[in-house]
């Protein structure tokens, strides 16, 4: 099972959908970069059990994202925000540019 950074974003977004055990092991695997073996040894369970729990968590992430699409929407919003930031920086009216940048920064904080 190859680690995929998109699961870190999915964990941040949908982690509350997981059981405590699934969330804990997913965090150890994706965020702490522990191996399946290291997680298994620390929990006193088999490597296969850890693998199964993480696969179940990944399945929940994929189902939630396919239904809700929050990560995709966030990615699009980020792209639009960056485009607006570039436009604002090229506006010659410094007051208008500053106001637009302030609004963009507030949007980015959401």
Residue owning tokens 């506006």: 91
Residue owning tokens 């929940």: 60
Q: Where are the domains of the chain?
A: 6-68, 72-109
Q: Given this structure, which CATH class describes domain 6-68?
A: mainly alpha
| Structure token pair of residue 35 | 């191996």
Can you give the pLDDT at residue 108?
77
Q: What is the chain's Cα-based Rg?
A: 20
Confidence of residue 23 (pLDDT cuts 50, 70, 90): very high
- 25-49 pLDDT, tens digit per residue, is 999 999 999 999 999 999 999 999 9
Is the pTM here over 0.75, yes or no?
no
């Amino acid at each position: 099972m190859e680690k995929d950074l998109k699961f870190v974003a999915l964990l941040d977004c949908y982690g509350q959908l997981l059981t405590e055990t699934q969330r804990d092991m997913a965090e150890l695997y994706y965020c702490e970069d522990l191996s399946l073996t290291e997680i298994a040894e620390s929990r006193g369970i088999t490597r296969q059990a850890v693998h199964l729990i993480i696969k179940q968590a990944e399945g929940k992430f994929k189902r939630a994202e396919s239904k809700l699409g929050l990560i995709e929407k966030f990615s699009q919003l980020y792209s639009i925000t960056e485009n607006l930031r570039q436009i604002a920086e090229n506006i010659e009216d410094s007051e208008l540019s500053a106001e637009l940048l302030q609004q963009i920064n507030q949007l980015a904080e959401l």
